Chains A and B, each alone.
Chain A
Amino acid sequence: MKKYIYILFVITCFFACKANDPDIDDLVITSEKQIAKIIEADKGRLYTLNEFQDQFMTEEGNWLSDEHQYRTRAKYTKNGRTYYLFSIDTLPTAGKGIYIRGRVTTDDYGGNFYKSLCIQQIVNGQQQSLRISVDAGSISGMYPLGQEILIRCNGLAIGRYANQPQLCVPSYNNNQLATNATQKVGWAPGRISLPAFKRAVTYIGTPDKSKLQYDEMNITEYTNLLTVGGEERKLDGNLVRIKNVHYTGQYSNNGSPANCSTGDPETDVNSNVFAPTTTNIGYPQGRIVVDANGNKTIVSNSEYAKFARFYLPPSNYTGDIEGILGFYVDNGTSAAKYGLAWDDWSITIRNLDDLHLTDTQGNPWPRIEYSNK
């Protein structure tokens, strides 16, 4: 009998090797206490997103050490002060933990965001935000819309790419064929590798879209802020809702609105769809929306977006547009020469559900795709 019990024991042990599904509570932290505990154990400090940028992001960047200062970078001078459009400040690896937290406001399923996330944090009812560059496609699959995350930033960097602040790592941009390459080639904010990012991040709870806060704005509230190095760096990356606008069927031709064509979006870069081809240069395509007072702003779309070949909504469809607010200036020379313009601002929608447009009867905008048949 003993023998059989023993055999049974061996067999049981063998099959007992099957691992149990992890409990969600083991994968996420759920209470403020737990967050405090983690930070305390690390002798760290939790910064708000604005504190974090104020504390660690300098104008020139600490990467501008002797060995890196050869680089020619896009910069912009105003009132005798130089503003750098590209910068990197590395954060110490050792020492006290540098923590930030925020809720993911982006979703890359629509194809309008690629290898990047935006997070927001509500501090005293006000939104603060930060962009994050991660070297992994479909990153929203792991960090979805509405997910709050805690990030230990040690060893990473905070920098600006085309004046847009982001959590990043230093990376040498060697794209010599890019537009304005002479100003861009050099050290710039680059993408954090997925292994490094996963190690830095802890989930706080589970995703909750309802907790996302939109800054309800009129266009002029941000297009009037045409400075570099000021408030626009804080607003960049915010989740916004622009009230009461409609598409005009136009794009910005170096600051002047121009009508889109009816051409084939496969060949015509100005076709009246969200994002016709850029012949693979890959720059985002801007389309103009205006409010009731005629104030213009750009809605920015990638030609790789799933909705890129949909026709622009006709101008009789009006309503709110949601998305990420951006202030993108990658060319210091032209900024200095021509001055900053309203079309340096843009809204990046996550997908077509971000367009809440209806006609006067309240009918939603019908989504129609381009077809050459």
Chain B
Amino acid sequence: MGVYSATTVQGVVLDQETKTPIAKGTVTLGNAGISVRTNARGEYTFPSVEVGEEELIIEADGYVSDIEVVNIDAEPITLNVVLRPDVSYQAKEELLVNLSEVDLNDDEGKTQSQSSNMSASQDVFNSISSFAWSTVRYRARGYEQTYEQNYIGGLSFNAMERGTFNFSAMGGLNDASRYKEIVNSMESNNFTFGGIGASTNYLMNAQRYAKGWKVNLGGTNRNYKIKASATYATGPLKNGWAFAAQVGWRFSPYIDNKGIIGEGIAYNSIGAFFTAEKNWGSDKRLTLIALASSANRGQSAAVTQEVYDLVGSINYNPYWGYQDGKVRNSRVVKSIDPTVIGTFEWKVNDQHALRFGLGIHYNFYSNSALTFYNAPDPRPDYYRNLPSALWDGQINSDGKFIKTDMNGKNLGKPFVGWDGQKVGPSIDEKKYNELVQLWKDRDDQTTQIDWDALYGANYMGNKLNPEGSAKYILERRHNDIGEVALNVFYTYDSKKHLKVTVGLDGKYGIGVHYKTVDDLLGGKQWIDVDAFSERDIKELATNIGLTQDDVKKVKQNNIFNPNQKVGEDDKFGYRYNIDMAKVTLWAQNDWSYNFLDFYYALGITYSEMTRSTSMINGRAWYLAQLNPKRADIYLGPDYKSILNAAKNGSGSPKTWFKGYDYNFVDPAFKLGLTYKINGRNRIKVNALAATQAPLARDAYIAPRVHDRVIAGMYKHNNANSLKDYYAADQKIVSADLTYEFNFPIVRGRITGFYTQFWNGTELNGYYDDEARTYVNQSITGIDRRHFGGEVALSVKCGTYITITGATSVGDYRYISNADAITSAENGMALATNSLTGKPIFELKDKVLMNGLHVSTGPQVNASIKVSFFHPKMWFADVTLSYFDWNYLDFAPSRRMQGLYTDIRSDKSNVNGSYEDIGAVLKDDKTGEPICDKYGTPKLKHPYNKLSDQESLVADRVWDRFVIDASVGKLIYFKNGQSLSVNLNLSNLSNNTHLKTGGYQQARLPRQTKQGVSEKDGNSVISPNVWKFPSKYYYAWGTNFYLSLTYKF
């Protein structure tokens, strides 16, 4: 006592199986409260440790944590630790990849919910949130997927156009993607600047992979049924090389039909991975990585509750039908995704290190869909085909069925519908029941795609007019992504307190967009014109005082190749590329002291984007006629030559026209601090501020048609002030505060976070029933804030059992109203100026979204998990989870200010508003609208159904719970071989009330007042508010994943 003495504790942390070093592991001295991270060679060092008994806690992502008690005397200690891979964790990861991949198909904007969180890690909170909460598509802190950064070998692989990472690029390659470093939120990051969401860097160098073979076989009842993979690695060879490779195959040998998970979904995905690594001594390393995957998989759609209930299954999928007795899905994703990466690391000396990386990635991605021309809508769940279509015209303004006729005579008695609700009396019971029965019986022709009828229509069309367009075809929408990423990375380690990291990331990307004919479905050819513009051509002509003949180009998808006849595999519809480039320079200083660590980092990003097209669309040409002074905003800088060529018929269908360049400079700054109170307790603070250029996906209002961008980008390109320069950018400020504790029995953390976004952008497109045409809508100036808390706790109960709990409670909502600009895709006038009588082509209005919730999954998530581990390598766990505060994505078109007040923010009048029909609740005395606390007027029943944001949470409390379980066993054989068996059961209680997402339909139900002119407002909002109800996705019922892994 009393004699102060200190010594050094150092060692290496190794993987138990591969005996390779574990980088980015955390080693903590429990009593002293100091932790260090292992370097790339798995080494850790505590330069000065007090003598006495110490507890060494060793943790690393994907490994079971270890605690070693050591007696420290005056002598330096070398303590090497081996960590056992967490087998159950690995099996679960496979499930996550599957979930994330399924949800990546949102090439139609809002058709799919976001993917689950992929940043699983050993952190107590993250390990629960990643797995147990993936069922309901939990997003950490409510951030969209674009805020989660993914890197391979230090190179950014989030696609530039959409901002998201394509998990199917690693489809089935769970071994290849096993080793990764994850940085939560804004914390100090040593492979990138980072952002508000997690950053994950997949480490794929060959030495990490265990020498020998690993064969894995999995079976599941999800979208695919069987997974098989084989991995081989050489381990480090004497000549300094190491190689590893994996091939994986996931497929469905059959397609499930009616009522089963994966209904109508074919699945076939093959992945291959190869990596080579060469080490020259311990200071130079070359890594080569090649990844490729190919996928061919069917999709499913969200449908209305009426449809789910009628067919009696949450697995119903309207995308498929029988053809030739076989299941055929109309939406099939095809993807071939090769990636090549090379990195060279050079440790100049103990203090300075450099890394160079180059990656090339090309994703051939396409998705099929039915399209039709002058023929009935082929979708089985089209609203006119449902029993509720009979409601039209039969509902009163009180939301109830009409009961009396015009003379006040009683219409009779209602009858009880299939769902127990009273129907009628003005509905024909027999007609209603016949339709109900077709759905309940799941009649093939009614509830699925009637392929035979589509072929039939085409055969008949061929006979009638062999030169005519097919009525129905299957088109393939291509969205290829090509990217080249390159980075230079420098670190300086002072070996005392300071570490400096400087990175330069460059990236070039191209998004290639076009359509091809996938299948003519028996038709002879498809004629490439737009049916919508053809139908509206009379009004399009009248609006600009011309004849239909004068504006007939408007229906052409390529004015320089009119009425093009296309056959299978021919390109048609649209063809455009988005070229993007981005350079980020960032630097970070990390300071480390015994009781305090802190860092700060600065990044600056230059980015640019340009759209170019080789198909000048007739609608773009038409809009240029409408606005001759601003023809360039639709046709780009070459507008004069385009218009001239259109006039004299000299245009070539193959010329590419480049749009305007948009470039941005965005700064970002972050800092953080960790105060180590003692060995058991610490406090962390992080903060970040950044501006963000809009993603190309959000920048172009209708990129298939024209060059037009969101309003802020014009301001930006003609900026005279800093405010204008950042008019299109989103601004983000975020901070979090964490208290962490780590006792032998109990460990955990409590975090509070606050993030605010300003000036976000969202694009929508929908059929507008007032204008009777398809409209595009850009919404800018979206402000929101996300705040909440996360708590995680892990309690060791004896040798075998650990109880962990985690919860995340947040409030993610919009904090202001946003600005919307709505325009018809074909250039139709959407309203008339009541003073001048002139047509209005672009409607400007406010979206009353202040106070609405951001719909990125449940905002209350809580789980408690009991894990069992027996040293004879048995493990099992059961997790009980609860989800709440989950909100449906609302349709801005139903929240327009003009609908409530009769006048848009651009002062134009609204025909057929909530105000018109007296649906706005008003104070009896003052006559003023009654507003909610955010200032949005409230609506009377039933119209509030149109405007209010819906909750996705099940009515009954017990329907908000989910139980998951897993059990596994790892068997080591004497010859060093091993077999692991793992069974995961998700949603054990088969809870079929868990809505995971969906959307409110943008289409507003309307009816026409006969005898009233359009100018006098003949379009009124229909009291049949159930006409275009919301569509939902549900979490799967009970499902399993059985995995067998044999290593030899």
Task: Pick the residue among B374, B542, B1010 that contacts A179 (CB under 8 A).
Answer: B1010
Across the interface, do A280 and B374 meet the contact criterion of CB distance under 8 Å?
Answer: no
Across the interface, do A155 and B455 meet the contact criterion of CB distance under 8 Å?
Answer: no
A134, B5: Cα distance in complex, Å: 94
Across the interface, do B428 and A27 meet the contact criterion of CB distance under 8 Å?
Answer: no
Residues in B with CB closer than 8 Å to A309 are 538, 541-542, 548
A17, B431: Cα distance in complex, Å: 38
Across the interface, do A17 and B455 meet the contact criterion of CB distance under 8 Å?
Answer: no
A155, B433: Cα distance in complex, Å: 11
Across the interface, do B1010 and A282 meet the contact criterion of CB distance under 8 Å?
Answer: yes
- Assuming the contacts A306-B538, A369-B548, asked whether A170 and B385 have C-beta atoms less than 8 A apart, the reply is no
Across the interface, do B253 and A13 meet the contact criterion of CB distance under 8 Å?
Answer: yes
- Assuming the contacts A144-B464, A174-B402, A281-B1010, asked whether A195 and B443 have C-beta atoms less than 8 A apart, the reply is yes
Task: Pick the residue among B389, B546, B1009, B1012 that contacts A193 (CB under 8 A).
Answer: B389
Q: Which of B325, B385, B402 has the most CB of A within 10 A?
A: B385
The interface size bin for chain A is: 35 or more
Chain B nearest CB, measured from A68 CB (Å): 8
A370 within 8 A of B: yes
- Chain B residue with Cβ nearest A308: B538
Across the interface, do A172 and B1010 meet the contact criterion of CB distance under 8 Å?
Answer: no
Across the interface, do A141 and B407 meet the contact criterion of CB distance under 8 Å?
Answer: no
A68, B328: Cα distance in complex, Å: 45
User: Contact string, A134-164, partner B, CB cutoff 8 A, digits 1/0?
Assistant: 0111111110111100000001000000000
- Assuming the contacts A140-B374, A142-B457, A203-B456, asked whether A70 and B409 have C-beta atoms less than 8 A apart, the reply is yes
User: Contact string, B1009-1032, partner A, CB cutoff 8 A, digits 1/0?
Assistant: 111111110100000000000000
Across the interface, do B545 and A207 meet the contact criterion of CB distance under 8 Å?
Answer: no
Across the interface, do A209 and B464 meet the contact criterion of CB distance under 8 Å?
Answer: yes
Q: Which of B402-455 contact A (CB under 8 A)?
A: 402, 405-407, 409-413, 425-428, 430-431, 434-435, 438, 443, 445-446, 450-453, 455
Across the interface, do A138 and B431 meet the contact criterion of CB distance under 8 Å?
Answer: no
Across the interface, do B1011 and A138 meet the contact criterion of CB distance under 8 Å?
Answer: no
Across the interface, do A280 and B452 meet the contact criterion of CB distance under 8 Å?
Answer: no
Across the interface, do B445 and A141 meet the contact criterion of CB distance under 8 Å?
Answer: no
A349, B58: Cα distance in complex, Å: 85
Across the interface, do A138 and B452 meet the contact criterion of CB distance under 8 Å?
Answer: no
- Assuming the contacts A170-B431, A177-B1011, A280-B1018, asked whether A28 and B456 have C-beta atoms less than 8 A apart, the reply is yes
B334 within 8 A of A: no
The interface size bin for chain B is: 35 or more
B393 within 8 A of A: yes
B869 within 8 A of A: no
Residues in B with CB closer than 8 Å to A17 are 255, 266, 326
User: Contact string, B263-296, partner A, CB cutoff 8 A, digits 1/0?
Assistant: 0001010000000000000000000000000000
A346, B407: Cα distance in complex, Å: 32
Task: Pick the residue among B377, B406, B461 that contacts A176 (CB under 8 A).
Answer: B406
Residues in B with CB closer than 8 Å to A52 are none
A109, B534: Cα distance in complex, Å: 11
Chain A nearest CB, measured from B100 CB (Å): 24
Residues in A with CB closer than 8 Å to B326 are 17-19
- Chain B residue with Cβ nearest A305: B538
Across the interface, do B459 and A279 meet the contact criterion of CB distance under 8 Å?
Answer: no
Across the interface, do A194 and B384 meet the contact criterion of CB distance under 8 Å?
Answer: yes
Chain B nearest CB, measured from A221 CB (Å): 30
Across the interface, do A207 and B435 meet the contact criterion of CB distance under 8 Å?
Answer: no
- Chain B residue with Cβ nearest A371: B547
- Chain A residue with Cβ nearest B455: A22
A341, B327: Cα distance in complex, Å: 58
Task: Pick the residue among B385, B412, B427, B455 that contacts A21 (CB under 8 A).
Answer: B455
User: Contact string, B314-331, partner A, CB cutoff 8 A, digits 1/0?
Assistant: 000000000111101000
Residues in A with CB closer than 8 Å to B251 are 14
Across the interface, do A179 and B1011 meet the contact criterion of CB distance under 8 Å?
Answer: yes
A323 within 8 A of B: no
Across the interface, do B464 and A370 meet the contact criterion of CB distance under 8 Å?
Answer: no
Residues in A with CB closer than 8 Å to B323 are 19-20, 22
User: Contact string, A172-196, partner B, CB cutoff 8 A, digits 1/0?
Assistant: 1111111101100110000001111
A372, B435: Cα distance in complex, Å: 48
Across the interface, do B550 and A27 meet the contact criterion of CB distance under 8 Å?
Answer: no
Across the interface, do A138 and B375 meet the contact criterion of CB distance under 8 Å?
Answer: yes
Across the interface, do A282 and B406 meet the contact criterion of CB distance under 8 Å?
Answer: no
Residues in B with CB closer than 8 Å to A170 are 428, 430-431
Chain A nearest CB, measured from B690 CB (Å): 48
B798 within 8 A of A: no
Across the interface, do B452 and A177 meet the contact criterion of CB distance under 8 Å?
Answer: no
Q: Which of A287-313 contact B (CB under 8 A)?
A: 306, 308-309
A195, B819: Cα distance in complex, Å: 41
Residues in A with CB closer than 8 Å to B431 are 169-171, 193, 196
Across the interface, do B385 and A193 meet the contact criterion of CB distance under 8 Å?
Answer: yes
A93 within 8 A of B: yes
Residues in A with CB closer than 8 Å to B410 are 70
User: Contact string, B503-529, partner A, CB cutoff 8 A, digits 1/0?
Assistant: 000000000000000000110000000
Residues in B with CB closer than 8 Å to A353 are none
Across the interface, do A27 and B463 meet the contact criterion of CB distance under 8 Å?
Answer: no
Across the interface, do B1010 and A207 meet the contact criterion of CB distance under 8 Å?
Answer: no
Across the interface, do B459 and A24 meet the contact criterion of CB distance under 8 Å?
Answer: yes
- Assuming the contacts A144-B460, A186-B405, asked whether A20 and B1013 have C-beta atoms less than 8 A apart, the reply is no
Residues in A with CB closer than 8 Å to B546 are 371, 373
Across the interface, do B545 and A193 meet the contact criterion of CB distance under 8 Å?
Answer: no
Across the interface, do A207 and B427 meet the contact criterion of CB distance under 8 Å?
Answer: no
- Chain B residue with Cβ nearest A139: B376
A266, B540: Cα distance in complex, Å: 12
- Assuming the contacts A141-B374, A281-B1010, asked whether A21 and B542 have C-beta atoms less than 8 A apart, the reply is no
B549 within 8 A of A: yes
A71 within 8 A of B: yes
Binding site for B on A (CB under 8 A): 10, 13-14, 17-22, 24, 26-28, 67-68, 70-72, 90, 93, 109, 111, 135-142, 144-147, 155, 169-179, 181-182, 185-186, 193-196, 198-199, 203, 206-209, 266, 279-282, 306, 308-309, 369-373
Q: 23 A-B Cβ contacts within 8 A?
A: A13-B253, A17-B326, A19-B324, A19-B325, A20-B324, A21-B522, A28-B456, A72-B405, A93-B434, A142-B376, A142-B456, A145-B464, A170-B431, A172-B411, A172-B427, A193-B435, A194-B385, A195-B385, A203-B460, A206-B460, A309-B541, A369-B541, A369-B548
Supply 5 further A-B pairs (C-beta < 8 A) apart from A70-B409, A136-B384, A169-B431: A21-B521, A67-B425, A171-B431, A174-B402, A193-B389
